[in-house]
Every structure is written in structure tokens, then in C-alpha cells.
Structure 1
Amino acid sequence: MIQQIEKLKEIINQNSMGHLPLPYRVDLMKQIGNSRTVQKVLCECCKKACSSFPEEFCAENLLVEVLSEMDSYLYKNKGIAESILVSVERLRNYVEQSADSPDDMASWAIISLGYAIRYDAASILAIEDYNGEDDDAFDFESWNADFICSIACSGSNPFVETGNVEKRKEYWLWYVKMVLEVSQNPNVKYQSLPVCKRATPLIDIPVRHQSDNTIEAQFKDILSYIMDCEPQKFKEGLEYDILFVSTVVDMFSITSSDGDRITLNTKNCDKICNTLRDIRKRMYQKDPKQGAWFQVEIFLKNKEQYTFNFNYDNLEQLPSFFQEPDWLLGMFEKFPRSKEYTPLWLRKIVGRRKLYLT
């Protein structure tokens, strides 16, 4: 393999784009043969790309958490490939929403790596109907992590714009050297995961003030409507837990103190959800910097006795169905807030996007 690596170095140096064409990489990976070792090669590419963006890819980054999971799976046999697939599927839409900059491409490479781990690196070891085409012959979603990382490290796709040829060449020369060492010592990590040197700050969210007499009157009206629209379903002497969760979709539920679920007809549910969304919007407009709540829980004794619990910041309180990063990002885009009112977990999702109110 040493002679082959030297030949590949010549090819890289002679390529006008500083690119290592896909056919050579396919042959190289097939020569390695072992899918786990090939996955480790792709993992090292992702770590290389992330190291180019230390501010974005510190230990607090969502994608670094997934990359760490993959690294542990590949080198320590921790976890299972199916679990990794769940992680990347959960983040895929979130990453695709903004895959248009070099560091975004590093994130997309991690998603690609997840599929390579789950499907035995078939995207490079078993390309369907492959006849020696280069990377530009394939769709964005079919690119391998090694090529995606070359875009991240060089700042551009060589088939779209030449960009920084020297950086691209530097990456591919690093790549062939790394492949040789990983193939010879597959159980030894070639490089470490990104490390965040900054201490995680303790975030003290200020007290919010988004309610007033008008808002309280609107809540009272909708609670009366809930109790009166289908009165036969509510029993005297029982208390009720009313939960409304809303991001890109809504969830509305009523549970009585004896454990029964109260189901209202679709027309009434739609009216209640629309009203609660409207109240949230009015609250947000009072002071947008404070953000909008994801969830409101109402503990109802009767029309005159009730308490509210608004959830602006607690991810764990949200039903798991609503914890999708792309949904939460969409909610933030609709109701942006200032950074001081943004908890750490939500800051991770927002990332470097310029969405905060000032």
C-alpha cells in the first residue's frame, strides 16, 4: 500500500483542483476491505474537518456529541449502529436547513458518516452501478464523508468553484497519509475529538414579564370555553390537567384527576389551539426578547381556580415527540429571543446562526 499512497500523492499534486478523484479512493478503500476500518477512515476525516472550526465544533455542539458516539462505537465497541442511525436521522433535517457554509459541510459529513456506519460503508465500498465516476456525478445526499470534509477544509466544492486549491491539496495529502496509518493500526485513534476549552457557563435566565390583565382575561375565557363546549365530559369534584404544546405542530390534551383522558371534538380542539397560539403571540409581542413559550400546562380546579405553568426553557419537560432539533429551530426562527433568555440546550441548536434579538 505504501507504493500506492506515493502514487496518490503524485495524482493529488498534479490535479489542477488539488482533488483526489473518487475512483482512486474507491480502489483504496476496497484494498483495505474491512468495512469497520473504512468507517474509521471516514470518522478521522470528520474529526479533521471539525478541528478546522474550533469555535463551532467544541464539546457543546450537537454534532460533536453524535461524532463522539460514533467514535466510541468504532474504537471502543460501545453502543450499536442502529442507535447511531437514530441520532443522525434526528439531526438530518436540522443540518440540511443550513448546509451552505464550510462548517455546515463538516456537520453534513458527520451525518454521512452515520449512514456509512449503519450500512457497512456501502456508499464507498459498494456504489451501485459504479463505473469510475467522480464525486460530481452524484447528488449531495450521496457524497461520502471524505469528499464532504474536503469541501469543509478547503472552503468550496472543486466542481463548482476552484476555491483554495492549496488547502484542498493539503487535506487530500493528509488523507492518504492518514489512510495508510489507520489501515496499519486500525485500533489506534489517529486523532482526538474536538475539545471545548471554554468552561460551560452557568446561565441564569431573567424573570419574564409577558402577562397583563388582558392576557389573563383571554386565558379565563378559553378555560370557560373548554369547560362549557362539551360539559357532559367534565365531572364535578374532579380537577383537570390541561396541556398545550406547540412548535411546528400542536398537541392538546386534558387529563382528569382520576386519570381519564378527555377527548373533545375536532372543531372545539381547533378553536382552543388557535386561541392558545394567539395568546402566545400576544404575550410574545409584549417583549419579544423574552421569547415565546413552547408549552403551557394549566391545573384547573374550576372556572375560578386555576394555575399556569409556562415552559420557555426546559427541554426535558417537552414530550419527546417535540424535541426534534429542526422543529425547535423552526420555533426559534418564528419567535426569536435575545441570548440572555436562551438556555444552553437551545443555544446549541441555534448555533452560530444570526437569529438572536439584540
Structure 2
Amino acid sequence: MTAGVGTRTVPYARCHIVPEAHEAVARVLASGWLTTGPQTLAFEDEFAGWLGAPEAVAVSSCTAAIELALRALRLPPGAPVLTPALTFCGAVHAIVHSGLRPVLLDADEQTLTVDAATVAAVADRVRPAAMVVQHMAGYPVPVPALAEAAGLPAGRVVEDAAHGLGAAAGGRLVGAASTAACFSFYATKNLPIGEGGAITTTDPDLAGTLRETRQHGMSRDAWRRYGPGAQWRYDVRTDGLKANFTDLQAAIGRAQLPHLASWQRRRAELAARYDQELSAVPGITPPPRPSEGRHAWHLYPIRITAPYPLHRDALAEALRGRGVGTSVHFIPVHHLTYFRTLLGAEACGRLPVADRVFPQLLSLPLHPGISEDDVDYVCDQITSLARTGGDPCP
């Protein structure tokens, strides 16, 4: 590590849009067709091809993707759906907005995802109708094993793969062989578009249903009503959402997608550098690596415990003062007022691991735009603060 304390700034995230995307957006603007249309159809084909998935359906967000996938199951109102407690609030909102009841799963101490034993214990108590599983930080979870532990068929498991793009398990990329894997193209994600999401599926009937329900349940979207040779008439056969993708987003995504493989390699290189430089700092635990498969390295969440002299919030503030941006993933949903009120004290009191690890978690900058020197600088500051206990920068 060579960087010293100074005025360097290392932002937590930076959304890089390649020059080709700027050109592609200009072409879409000039075409006069901005909403869901030919660019969206092409993006869906190319995204599915990148993953090796039979079908991809582009939607407005990963949250909308999860909700659409759950709605497609046609479960009874109030049916219980298992979901991690250590997750983003939007993933649990999707369950609620689908008319279903979230049942929280405690975190696994090592992986920060969920393990089969916890799933089986909760499933034995509540008999779930479905489950949402999350590839937390990019760590690939064993979906078939978790489905078996829950006593659910694969078709009742929805994958929250917002962090999982580029991860691999069972010899295939996450989303390649899934009934419903939900991805995010938010500005900080591995494939940054700004906003947007997609669902990959092996079920062509489900793909057809999703294409209707993402746009009010209409049997024909705008391109098939107003595009060349199209007909205006449509039907509404099911309830739906306003959750479609636009050709502006698709143009950006198509231009970004050819760079994704190199961005993934870069993330892995940076994570390895963090591992190497932080492994000797007492009280700093790097994120776990899967024994099988491949991590997507969407996030690099360290854990901070004794004997490190600063607690998580103090370290985050000290790093901010030295120009380093950080974040926390996540505030467990049962710590949030809405969900505590919705689920009740008893349901929120069975989650000791999530409660214990939450104050220890801090996500460091990890994106293709940072340099080795940036990583060195971040690690130097963490090491320096371990020695000084948070004294002001010289």
C-alpha cells in the first residue's frame, strides 16, 4: 500500500456510461420512438443471450420484476412468502404490493444470505406458498437446495438477482436456468443504465404473461399497436402494472452490455486487492467467497468487530472525512418502522443474526471506475485508523 493521506476522493459509486451509449440514445431520440419498442426487444434478446437464458423480459425496476413474478403465481391473498430480513426494503414491498405476507428469514452468519437449515425451520412453522431468495452482494445462493428446504417447487421461488448479475452457480450464470430471476440496472449496478430491470425465465408462458402484465395487462403494447403494420385493437385479460422498459433505456443497455464481461473481471480484481490488503487488519473481516461458483462482486461489504478500535458508524464518518465514500447493506427490514408495524414484534424478534451483523457491516467503494491506487488509499486509511483510533488526519 503506497497511497498517503491527502485530498484524494474515492466516491462510493460512479455510474459510467460508455460513449457508444450516448450515440445510441441520440439515434433513438432522432427516431421518434422512445418508449417500449424495437430497442427493448433487441435488448431483451441480447441480455438473455449474455446470460444463456431462454427468455428475458425488461421492466421498470427489479422491485417491479419481483412483484410481477409474484403476481404471476396467482397465490391466495395473504399467502406467506419467505424472504431474507437482511435485504433491501423494495424487495419486501414487492411481496406486500402483491397482496402477500412477508415472513422474514434470519441471515447466515458467514455468507449474509440465508441457509437451508434456517429456511427449513421457518418453513416447518409457516408452510410458505413461495419464497424470494437474494444473491446478497453478488454471493450466489444455492437456489435448488433452498427450494427443497422450503418444501417448494422451483416455480415458487423468485430470485432477487439485483446484486447477482455475473455470478455463477452450478456451472451456469445466475438467471440462466431460473423460473424467475429478477435483475436491476440501477445506476450503481453491475450493468448500469440508470433505472430499469429484467426478469429471465425458462418458462415461455410466464414470459408472455410478464410482457402483458408489465403494461397494464394489455395484450398489445404500444409498439404492436402503433408500429409499422400494427393494429390498434387490444384486450386486457389480467390485472397489470405500469412497469415497462423504454427504448431509451434499452439503447443504453445494448451499448453497455458488450463491456459487462470486462467490468466483471475488473470487479473481481479489485475485490482480490481489497482481500489482500485488509486480511491482516485485526477486526476487519473481508466478505466471504463461495466455495463453489463465482461471486458477482456487486458489493464489497466488510465486517468490523473488536479489536478494531472504531465501530461501524465511526469508521464510516472517519473515512468520509478522508474522502472515501461508503454505504451499508442493508438496514434489516424489521428495523424499519413500516415493516415493524406490519409484521409485529414477535415476527421481528426472531432474527438475532441479522440484528448482530447489521452494526458491523460497511460496504467499501467497488466499481470498475476506481483504480488500484484508490483501493490502496481506502485500505491505507482503514489501517491508519486502526493504529490511531480515529485521530484527525495529519
Q: TM-score, normalised to structure 2's length?
A: 0.23
Higher RCO structure, 1 or 2 (CA under 8 Å, sep 6+)? 2
TM-score by length of 1: 0.25
